[in-house]
Amino acid sequence: MNANAITQAGLARRHRTQKIMWGVFGLSSLVNMAALVLICGFLLVKGLPAISWSFLTEMPRDSMTAGGILPCILGTIYLSLGTMAVAFPLGVASAVYLNEYATPGRTLRLIRLGINNLAGVPSVVFGLFGLAFFVTFFGLGVSLLSGILTLSILVLPVIIGTAEEALKSVPQTYREASLGLGATKWQTIRLVVLPAAMPGMLTGAILGLSRAAGETAAIMFTAAVFFTPYLPTHLTDSVMALPYHIYVLATAGTEIDKTRPLQYGTALVLIVLVLGMNLGAILYRAKLQKKR
């Protein structure tokens, strides 16, 4: 067999392998898309009949078998936005230190290893930590503040990781040009590097926001309660939250069958709320990308 035949056989084998891999990736995408459509369609069919103006604007009543979910909606919004207000600046600051200031070596590798391991810790562990540290040790009680701080620690590894990758994607020539014009390192980071990396950093914020809004285990020990007749007005108030409300209705309610439509309706509202907050962040990210 001559060299040309061997080359042709190798090319044919690579093309065949490429087609197989494309097929596998395409099938995986279709399976994920089908699962998403199936879940959303199921919730839409089951939950849409429960959606009404009173459902969205009233307080729960009659052992939560009637009324609305207004305190749950507000509690979820407060927890999510409060978490981002704490975790995003801390995550960006940590990423700036790791990527721009820290000296490469064993210590830096250990820090990154710790961050990666922290991202894989189950959320219930964060909830127990928040219970012991914020609720008990600092005496904050089961409150909005305790939940925000616990969720901030939960989403911090994701934000740090995406923010650091965004900083790495900024060309080194940006930094060199700024320093060459006489700017200090901090001025270069603040005025050149951070604006260029911000769209990528917002990706981490979007992921963190989605996780914070949908967490149950992390808030059931620190912030959420079964029922409260008052809307939260202070950081020291306990709150109702959509994911914990779904858990309560499905497992701990006295009339689980009667609350079944409310469970689906609450789940549908939670998905729409998360999509809405993510959409706002995505539009803001797109606006920043246009300015670059």
The model's pLDDT over 45-93, given as tens digits with 9 standing for 90+, comes to 888 888 888 888 888 877 677 778 889 999 999 999 999 999 999 999 9
| Residue at 22 is within a domain | no
Most confident of 7-16, 77-86, 249-258, 272-281: 77-86
193 near 216, Cβ under 8 Å? no
State the Cα–Cα distance between residues 168 and 278, nearest whole angstrom. 24
219 near 53, Cβ under 8 Å? no
Q: Which two tokens stand for residue 254?
A: 């006295």
| Residue at 270 is within a domain | yes
| Residue at 25 is within a domain | no
pTM of the model: 0.86
82 near 234, Cβ under 8 Å? no
| Residue at 176 is within a domain | yes
Give the pLDDT of residue 16. 80
Q: Which two tokens stand for residue 58?
A: 């009233």
Give the pLDDT of residue 79. 93
| Residue at 29 is within a domain | no
| Residue at 42 is within a domain | no
Largest CA distance in the chain: 85
Give the closest residue to 231 by CA, choosing from 57, 54, 52, 51. Answer: 57
The model's pLDDT over 214-258, given as tens digits with 9 standing for 90+, comes to 888 899 999 988 888 788 888 999 999 999 988 888 886 666 777
The CATH number given to whatever domain includes residue 264 is 1.10.3720.10
Structural domain total, the chain? 1
81 near 213, Cβ under 8 Å? no
Residue with tokens 């891999």: 21
Give the closest residue to 271 by CA, choosing from 231, 239, 243. Answer: 243
Question: Which helix H or strand E contains 66, and what residues bound it?
Answer: strand 66-67
What single DSSP character describes residue 48? G
| Residue at 106 is within a domain | yes
Count CA atoms within 13 Å of residue 30 on its CB side: 6
What percentage of residues in the chain have a pLDDT greater than 90?
29
Amino acid present at 12: A
State the Cα–Cα distance between residues 180 and 168, nearest whole angstrom. 20
DSSP assignment of 82-122:
HHHHHHHHHHHHHHHIIIIISPSSHHHHHHHHHHHHHHTS-
| Residue at 41 is within a domain | no
Domain ranges, residue 170: 53-291
